[in-house]
Amino acid sequence: MRAYLPDYQCSSANSLSEAFSFLEKGARPIAGGTDIMVLFDAGLLAPGDYVDILGISELKGITKKRNTLTLGALTTYSEVRQHKFLQTNFPILCESAKEVGAVAIQNRGTLGGNIANASPAADFPPALLVYEAKIHLVSSRGMRTIDYTKFHHGYKESELKKDELIHSVSLENHLSKHHHFWRKIGSRKAQAISKTMMAGVLKINKNVIEEVRISFGSVAPTAVRCTEVEKFLTGCPLNKNTIREAKQILLKDIHPIDDIRSTGKYRLAVSQNVLEEFLCGIG
């Protein structure tokens, strides 16, 4: 059953101060609308007041200052995938942006919306976790910054307060000597919600793993860093025995479930295989 349009009121804000005034009155923000409109069309979007923030210039743009790259919350998937510096230094973000829906969705959907939606199947979170991103949140009270690892509390739950907006995301560029990896498994190659996905970065020296970061999506209530696997791999030689044991330790980090898209058993087996693919591909 589709939603009844008169139950909704949507206003537009052209500045942060305008947006805050609407948020403080209970309005909920909408940017690209690629998630909200699906709910609206299905009759599942909660009625009430919304505020369109897509025109706020303070939330747009990609800037670089020394070794820090900052992406405004309204940066689209297309802007991410087409950005030359991101392609070279943060390729996992570009790869994940390429696999979000169709081109029309990539042109409309935003980085901030993908994060705020707090879905365990969202495409950007695994990349943001391995790149150890920082999230900048803004409200009429000011700006606050948190590590992305602390942003998601549970399924559809996050650090974001009702009177706050995601302002931007910042990344530190110090991974030029690392191997970057991204893999998404869905029912088909394109325009599919993931059954499991993995992001990984790894630095190796004389066949010994010096540093590794691994994250999975769609295998827990939120995207997760695989800290147990990372602890085991750090300092280990990269060989068949190490990979075999890492696949077993992965059971401690991820907890896939059965749902309409797949089974927990399938997700677990495929996640182990993707981890092996990542480690075997290090040259």
DSSP string, 180-237: EEEEEE-SSSSS---SEEEEEEEEEETTEEEEEEEEEESSSSS-EE-HHHHHHHTT-B
- The gap from C-alpha 204 to its chain's centroid, in whole angstroms, comes to 26
Q: What is the mean pLDDT of residues 117-138?
A: 94
Strands 142-147 and 196-205: unpaired
Q: From the CB of residue 223, how many other CB atoms can be counted at a distance below 10 Å?
A: 29
Which one is the CATH code of 5-52: 3.30.450, 3.30.43, 2.30.30, 1.10.530? 3.30.43
Domain 57-172 has CATH 3.30.465.10: yes
Reported confidence tier of residue 187, pLDDT bands at 50, 70, 90: low
Task: Kindly tell me if the per-residue pLDDT of 188 is higher than 70.
Answer: no
Per-residue pLDDT reduced to its tens digit, 205-253? 999 999 999 999 999 889 999 999 999 999 999 999 999 999 999 999 9
Task: Kindly tell me if the per-residue pLDDT of 179 is higher than 80.
Answer: yes
CA angle 148, 99, 12 (to 5 degrees): 65
Residues β-bridged to residue 158:
152
Q: What is the mean pLDDT of residues 6-18?
A: 94
Q: What is the CATH superfamily name and number for domain 179-280?
A: CO dehydrogenase flavoprotein, C-terminal domain (3.30.390.50)
pLDDT reported for residue 264:
85
- The gap from C-alpha 21 to its chain's centroid, in whole angstroms, comes to 28
